[in-house]
Amino acid sequence: MRDSRLTKLAELLLTHSVTIKEKERVLIRGSVTAQPLITELIDGAYRLGAFPYVELIDEEVSKHLSMGCSREQLETQAAWMMKKYEDVDAVIVVIGEENDAELSDIPAEKHRIRGEIMKPATFFYVNNRRWVLLNYPTKGLAQKAGMSTRRFEDYLLDVCTVDYKKMHEAMQPLKALMDRTDKVRLVSPGTDLSFSIKDIPSVTCAGENNIPDGEVFTAPVKESVNGKISFNTPCPYHGTTFRNVTLTFKNGKIVEAVSDQTEKINQIFDTDEGSRFIGEFAIGVNPMIKEPMGDILFDEKICGSLHFTPGEAYEDADNGNRSSIHWDMVLIQRPEYGGGEIYFDDVLIRKDGLFVLRELEGLNPERLL
C-alpha cells in the first residue's frame, strides 16, 4: 500500500506516541508485510534527527523457529532482546498479520515456555521505554474484518488517526472518577460481576501505546472479583479463537471457565498461578470502532465496550498479579449487543454503551467524532 496517509500515520507514531527527539534511538520491529510503513518510519525518524533501527519479522519463519525451540535457545534470544531494549529510547512494533491461525500449530507448552522466558525483556520495554503497538492493513486482517482490502485500508487509517488530543482531554473526568471509586459492578445478559478498584491507579490511553487507541484502564483488587461475566465477542489467543466465553469468579479466582472449547481454555488458565486472576479492567471509547473483528488491538477499543483481562497486571495499574499470559476479553454493552450497565459505588455511570453522568458525556461517540 502506498498512501500519503502512511506519512501522517508515521508522523503520529513518532511525534505523539513515542515523542522521538533528536539523537534518540528508536527500534522499529515490524512484519515484512508492513514495509511501506516501516520505510516511512525510517524516513520520519531521520527527519527528526533520530537514529532508527529495524528488525523484520516473518510469520512463517517465526513459526518454524517456535516449533523446535528449546529453553536454552530462548534464553539466549531473550538476552539479546533485553540488550536491544536497553540500548534504545523507544520501540515501535508494527504487526502485519496475514493469517491469524499461522501459529496455531505450535504446541501450548512451547507458547508457555516462550512467554515465560521472553517476559522479562518484554516487560522491561513496556515499563521502561516509550513504545507503541499497531497493526498494518493486510489482506488477512481485511478478511478477518469482513471488508475488502481497500475498504479496510481506509478504515484502519481513519481509526488510527482520530483526534487523540481531544480524546485525552475527554478522558480526564473518567480517570478522576475511577481513581476515587471503590466498588464496580458490571451487569449484562449473562453477566453480574462485582469487584473493587480501590487505590489502584487508572491510566488513560489516547494514542501513546496502541494505535488505534481509546480506553481507560485500571485493575481490580486481586481477590475482590466475584460473580459471572459472559463475553459477546470472539476471544483470540495464540492463533485460536474462543467463542461464548463465560467466566465465574470466587474471591478473585476463575473457578469455572466455559466456551466453545472448554478443555482448551482451561489449559490456558492453568498456565501458572496468576492465569486465573485478573490483571486489568478497562472501558473502551474509540468512536470509529464499533464491531468486533477478532483482533484485540481493535476490539478492546470498541465504543460502548469494556474488557476484563486474566493474567499479568501492568505496573502502571498494579494489583500484584503476575502471569505469563495477559488475555483481554471484550464485552460490548450497546443495545444491539444486549445492552448493559456499569456502576461505580452503586451509581450508574454508563448504560447501553453511553455515559449518563454529565462530566463523562464528552466520551460518548458523537462528542469524540
Residue range 207-237, pLDDT digits in tens: 989 999 999 999 999 999 999 999 999 999 9
CB 134 within 8 A of CB 94: yes
Same domain, 256 and 335: yes
Contact 74, 118 (CB under 8 A): yes
For residue 308, what is its C-alpha cell?
476484563
Banded model confidence at residue 295, pLDDT cuts 50, 70, 90: confident
Residues 173 and 128 placed together within one structural domain of the fold: no
Domain identity same for 129 and 218 = no
List Cβ neighbours of 263 (8 Å cut-off, separation of 6 or more): none
Whether residues 258 and 293 fall in one domain? yes
Range of the domain at 341: 164-367
Most confident of 50-64, 148-162, 171-185: 171-185
- Give me the CATH number covering residue 121: 3.40.1830.10
Evaluate whether 354 touches 336 at the Cβ level (below 8 Å).
Answer: no
pLDDT (mean) for 177-201: 98
- 152 and 296 share a domain? no
DSSP string for 202-229: -EEESSSSEES--EEEE---TT--EEEE
The mean predicted confidence, pLDDT, of the chain is 94
Who has greater pLDDT, 243 or 62? 243
- Residues 221 and 179 occupy one common structural domain: yes
The residue among 184, 190, 187, 254 whose CA lies nearest residue 221 is: 184
Considering 105, 138, 160, which residue would you say is the last residue of a domain? 160
pLDDT exceeds 60 at position 1: no
Residues 119 and 187 in one domain: no
Main-chain dihedrals φ then ψ at residue 311, nearest 5 degrees: 115, -150
User: According to the model, what pLDDT value does residue 105 have?
Assistant: 83
| In the predicted structure, residue 300 carries a pLDDT above the cut 90 | yes
The CA distance from 121 to 352, in Å, is 40
Q: Into how many domains does the chain fold?
A: 2
C-alpha cell belonging to residue 107: 504446541
Considering the domain architecture, whether residues 153 and 230 belong to the same structural domain is answered as no
- Boundary (domain end) residue, out of 160, 179, 195: 160
Q: Which of the listed residues 160, 193, 228 is the one where a domain comes to its end?
A: 160
